[in-house]
């Protein structure tokens, strides 16, 4: 793991930033598309792919499975699954990438066998895989645990369609069982599924290549199993990253007089836009852009709002940390209720040491009183989104701040320091 750090200079309480930031393709859209290559008998091209660390980890998983991925140009990757010959997921890579679990469904569906370790990734609370193991068993597979690995075998090497009700909505589980159902025998019905735009994007591409999937974007998805998919030259265009969009929109509200967020999909961020408007931020919403114009109000003139993270279309848990930083600067008391991950508010201790007035009531709830004057300090980002939140905190704090664990930010944000620098941020990367 790289040990890079950022050194960031304060904006001294002024909204000095301005310019345009172009949003990259969505990390959470391109990763399941890469995993879906297991279902294909031919090659396909992905475009608008973000150049992020998670892409490198997925490429390592490909190498272990025998799938080839070749970079054609910036943001364009050609996937060739012809060499696919293994059904075991690499342990070391899996430890660093929670998304590796998304390979389990398509691999089991294709080979009838699967070996995988317990997946890892960001440290933001327990992330059990019971949903996956229970679902595989409902599709007729047998699960065994040996030497800290899961050995899954389908009867007669073929998954069977099943009715699966998710006890909790899960994006990764939804995507995994959509792909498992594509090659299973008969119909698979998934209920209480996640409804994120990334899932709709996955289903649209799979259907264009021969899959029979209905209901994406609703609580129930039906998959009629069939044969291997064929792209026949179809190209997957990665949708814009709504989390990157939201991150820069929050940064702009606090730090920019004029900011244009382009190449985005505003309809995917309705809840954030409405909350910022309710707080007093003026936002111009276009078809594929968001503008913050003449943002001359002091942050203390914005009013507090409370948030409750929820599955789409609710407030994204991945924007909770950046928004908490926002709430430290506005006037009033806010309640933040994190319903997805029980450890995702732990970073607030760092903000408190910077001067934030935050009280944790339990693992899921915190109140923030503002506005607070923050002071620059050295910070360790524990996950992708908190890392970017600390960047925002560093800009509004007094003095210089150092952010360690930049590796995590690199996992989810493409060329982040270049994009920040173009807006006027004084940021340096130290190796």
Cα dihedral value 116, 122, 364, 394, nearest 10: -170
Whether 209 is catalytic is: no
Half-sphere exposure of 123 (CA within 13 A, CB side): 6
Sign (positive/negative) of CA torsion 64, 65, 70, 71? negative
Burial of 11 (0-12, 13-18, 19+ CB in 10 A): buried
Instruction: Transcribe 312-377 into DSSP letters.
Output: TTSB-GGGHHHHHHHHTTSBEEEEEE--S-TTTTTTHHHHHHHT-EEEE-SSSEEEEEE----B--
Q: Select which of 122, 209, 255, 264 is catalytic.
A: 122
Report the alpha-carbon distance of residue 50 to residue 230 in Å, rounded.
24
Beta strands 149-154 and 141-146 are: antiparallel
At 245, phi and psi to the nearest 5?
-55, -50
Cα–Cα distance measured from residue 316 to residue 318, given in angstroms and rounded to the nearest whole number: 5
The structure tokens listed for 138 are: 């409902």
CB 280 within 8 A of CB 302: yes
Q: Cα(126)–Cα(2) distance, rounded to whole angstroms?
A: 25
Measured torsion, CA atoms of residues 392, 307, 359, 350, in degrees rounded to the nearest 10: -20
Task: Give the catalytic positions in this structure.
Answer: 122
């Amino acid at each position: 793991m790289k040990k890079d750090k950022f050194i960031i200079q304060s904006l001294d309480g002024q909204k000095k930033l301005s310019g345009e930031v172009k949003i990259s393709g969505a990390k959470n859209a391109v990763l399941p598309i890469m995993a879906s290559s297991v279902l294909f008998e031919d090659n396909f091209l992905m475009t608008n792919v973000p150049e992020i660390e998670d892409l490198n980890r997925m490429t390592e998983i490909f190498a272990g499975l025998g799938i080839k991925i070749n970079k054609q140009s910036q943001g364009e990757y050609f996937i060739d699954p012809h060499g696919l010959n293994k059904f075991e997921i690499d342990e070391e890579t899996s430890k660093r990438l929670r998304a590796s679990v998304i390979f389990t469904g398509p691999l089991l569906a294709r080979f009838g066998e699967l070996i995988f370790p317990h997946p890892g990734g960001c440290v933001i609370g327990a992330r059990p895989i019971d949903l996956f193991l229970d679902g595989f068993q409902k599709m007729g597979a047998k699960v065994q645990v040996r030497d800290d690995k899961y050995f899954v075998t389908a009867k007669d090497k073929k998954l069977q369609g099943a009715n699966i009700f998710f006890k909790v909505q899960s994006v990764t589980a939804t995507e995994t069982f959509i792909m498992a159902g594509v090659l299973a025998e008969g119909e698979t019905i998934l209920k209480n599924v996640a409804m994120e735009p990334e899932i709709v994007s996955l289903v649209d591409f799979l259907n264009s290549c021969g899959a029979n999937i209905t209901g994406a974007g609703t609580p129930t998805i039906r998959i009629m199993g069939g044969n291997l998919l064929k792209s026949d030259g179809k190209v997957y265009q990665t949708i814009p990253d709504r989390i990157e969009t939201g991150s820069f929109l929050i940064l702009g509200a606090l730090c920019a007089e004029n900011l244009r967020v382009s190449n985005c999909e505003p309809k995917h961020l309705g809840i954030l836009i409405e909350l910022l408007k309710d707080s007093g931020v003026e936002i111009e919403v276009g078809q594929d852009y968001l503008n913050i114009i003449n943002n001359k109000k002091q942050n203390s003139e914005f009013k507090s709002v409370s948030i409750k993270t929820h599955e789409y279309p609710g407030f994204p848990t991945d924007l909770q940390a950046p928004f908490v930083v926002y709430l430290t600067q506005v006037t009033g008391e806010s309640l933040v209720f994190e319903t997805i991950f029980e450890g995702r508010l732990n970073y607030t201790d760092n903000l408190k040491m910077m001067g934030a007035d935050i009280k944790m009531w339990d693992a899921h709830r915190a109140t923030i009183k503002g506005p607070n004057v923050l002071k620059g300090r050295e910070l360790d980002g524990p996950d992708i989104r908190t890392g970017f939140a600390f960047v925002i905190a560093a800009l509004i704090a007094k003095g210089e701040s150092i952010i360690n664990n930049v590796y995590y930010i690199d996992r989810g944000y493409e060329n982040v320091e270049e994009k920040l620098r173009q807006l006027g941020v004084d940021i340096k990367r130290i190796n």
